[in-house]
Amino acid sequence: MHGENHFIVRGPEPDRVSALSLARHWSVIQMNATTPQHLLNWRISTKEYREELQWAVTVPGEGARNPAVSQLLDELAARGVQITDYC
C-alpha cells in the first residue's frame, strides 16, 4: 500500500528499501521503461485471491489510505497475516 495506491505483488516480502523502490517504480507510468535489476524478484499480479495473500507492506505515500485497502488490511490482520508498516 502506497498512499491511495496499492499493488498486489508476486515475490518475497521486500525489505524497506526494496518496498520503497517498488512503490516509486510502479507509481509513475513510464512508457518502455525496464524494471531495474534489483526489483526483478517482484511483479505486479492482476488477479489474486485474498485468501492466498501471505504478506502486506505499507510505505509512505500521497493522500489518505483508500477505504478498500484499509478493509483488505483489516481482513489480512484478522487472518494473522503480518503487515509490515514502513511509514
Helix (H, G, I), strand (E, B) or coil at 26: helix
Assigned C-alpha cell, 71 = 478493509
pTM equals 0.81
* Per-position pLDDT tens, the chain of length 87: 766 778 888 999 999 999 999 988 888 777 788 889 999 999 988 888 888 999 999 998 877 788 888 898 999 999 999 999 998
